[in-house]
Amino acid sequence: MKRAVSVLLSLAMVASLAGCSKKSEETTKKTNVTTTSATETKESLTSESETEKTDETTEATEKTEETTSSETEDSTKASDSGASGLSNFTISPDFAIRNDLKKLDYTITKDSRAYGFVASVDDNRITRIAKEVDMLTVKDEDNYSQLWNSLDGIYPGLNTEYDRVFDEKLPSYVDGSAINSLTETSHTYIVRADSDVFSFVLYQGAIDPTGSYSASYKVYNYRSGDAMEYNLNDIVSDRAGFAKFFTEYLGGALKDDKFKMEEVNALASQISDADTTVPFLLTYDGVIFVYTVDERFTMYKIPAAYAGDYFDMSLFGATPESYVLESDEYDHILWDVDGDGKMDNISAYTKLDDTEALTEFGISVNGNLEKLPESELRYSYMGLSEFYLLKTDDGFYVYAELYPESSDAVVAVFKYDGSSFKFQKSFYSNLPIIGIDGFFYDPANFTINNSSDIMGTGYVIDRVSAMGNDGMPKKTVNMGSRNTILATKQELVVNKVNSNGAADGTATLPAKTVFAVTGIDLDTRTVLCECLNADATQNFYFELKIDAAQGEDDWSLKIDGVDQKDLFVGIFFAG
């Protein structure tokens, strides 16, 4: 389970603000999401602050207190990456699965402002100020009034402070005296949202005019009914004992990773002290402990099924009708997928060559292995990122996210047929990750993204659902989110659109007009933009149409026959 949102990611964010969109090896993911809701999606202006982002098969386990047999362990031991040790842990008889929760109805709207100026169209540089704040609220105020009040105590004040800074600095950008750009962003990533638990991450980041970058993460775990905020003492009965268990469990998978073990030991030290606050997140099947030091955000999952001696088990096992579970550091998930009341072991099978690239991959359930067809491993140096178990309207699926050396992820989709997970097909997009665009927890409402060179190298975020579509992601909104700020190099006549996307006449943009790219529809090659004014009430939306490609070998991106880089300031390409 790849869990680091490291300082490398932070640097990637900084690079994106400077106009560069290069991908780091571990965080080859993403940008911001458009306004989202558990039940609806609405697009709005966003800033560019986050434009850019094995493995030994574990043994089959049933719901008993006996360790897994050596016969089962040997039968699936084809992985070369050396994560062993699950046989040291037994499944708690107190862990029970029940599907009796309701999804919590919430909205995230984005309050965004931006402005900028261009000193010269020749240096390809825009000096700009931008702010963006996710505003989170629950929609069912009558049944969740206390939770509504708790969120209301966080977000309006945060937004007001961001507005204060923006208003204070804006005049220097209007008169052109500002020397460097200023960007402040705050994003919210939901981890669990149901009638029992509301768990999320609040990220805040800024780049000041000196170029200094700062970031912070805060986690929240509310009891949905009365907004009581859980602390670790509410979850763990014996913190000293659990700290030892925590180190032993993760040590079996990470013993060869010195850097991660340093983080694990640091967390264990905090966990053992009953008076120390430890950040964590609640999922349906366990607790994710968060290491946040020096702008790092690394997550380590402990499955509740193994922690019955320490966890309040009433918090786990209950789910809504559809949900997503994520693999842990052993690349496995414990869950009952066949409905017999016993826990099933779903694990990733990986076989690596001498360069640690995948040569074979598959998904095993209780030792029954189904391999990915060899043709699906056609990219070089492909490796497993993580995999997810999805419960949709027509059963269980696995999404296995595989990363090639220099491409978007390949997500292999497997469907459970009652005895094994059969490969269905693949799609070529990146799945969400906290720190960039979210957490994958709801198959009815999540994001995928694809890299694109339209309006410069970046990612287009599509909001999708895997419901009613044989487990495959299907767009729920045509326009994907893309967030960058550009300016015109020459006078340009554009087609305006209103808030509903309908044609609204034309407008003439003079040279050096600054605008935000807020969305791209990759299917129609349509770009949604917002013209930025010092008085935001004068902003308006317009669309640009990228010319159709002339054959597979045509990599040029033109508008009315003119290359985009000859039309706009701020176009940058990776590589």
Q: CA-to-CA distance for 84 and 464, rounded, in angstroms?
A: 35
> What DSSP designation does 103 have?
B
For the chain, which residues make up each domain, given as ranges? 4-51+104-223, 56-99+321-429
Question: Is residue 244 scored above 70 in pLDDT?
Answer: yes
Q: CA-to-CA distance for 243 and 255, rounded, in angstroms?
A: 16
* Mean pLDDT, rounded, for 43-60: 35
Locate all alpha helices (DSSP H) within 101-198, ordered by sequence: 145-152, 155-174
Q: Quick count: other Cβ atoms within 10 Å of Cβ 15?
A: 17
Question: Is residue 436 scored above 50 in pLDDT?
Answer: yes
Q: Average pLDDT, whole number, for the chain?
A: 85
358: part of which helix (H) or strand (E)? strand 358-365
pLDDT tens per residue across span 134-150:
999 999 888 899 999 99
Helix/strand/coil for 205: strand
Half-sphere exposure of 139 (CA within 13 A, CB side): 14
Fold classification of 4-51+104-223 is: Heat Shock Protein 90 (3.30.565)
Residue 162 CA to chain centroid, in angstroms? Answer: 24
pLDDT of residue 14: 36
At residue 376, what are phi and psi to the nearest 5 degrees?
Answer: -80, -5
Q: CA-to-CA distance for 412 and 427, rounded, in angstroms?
A: 7
Single-letter amino acid, residue 190: I
pLDDT tens per residue across span 97-117:
999 999 999 999 999 999 999
pLDDT of residue 21: 30
The partner residues of 541 in beta bridges, in order of sequence, read 497, 530
pTM attached to this predicted model: 0.85
* DSSP-assigned states of every residue in 26-64: S--------SEESS-B------STT-----PPPPP--SS
- Whether the CB-CB separation of 128 and 486 falls below 8 Å is answered with no
Give the CA dihedral 87, 93, 95, 99, nearest 10 degrees.
120
Question: Is residue 41 scored above 50 in pLDDT?
Answer: no
State the Cα angle at 91 between 88 and 97, rounded to 5°.
155
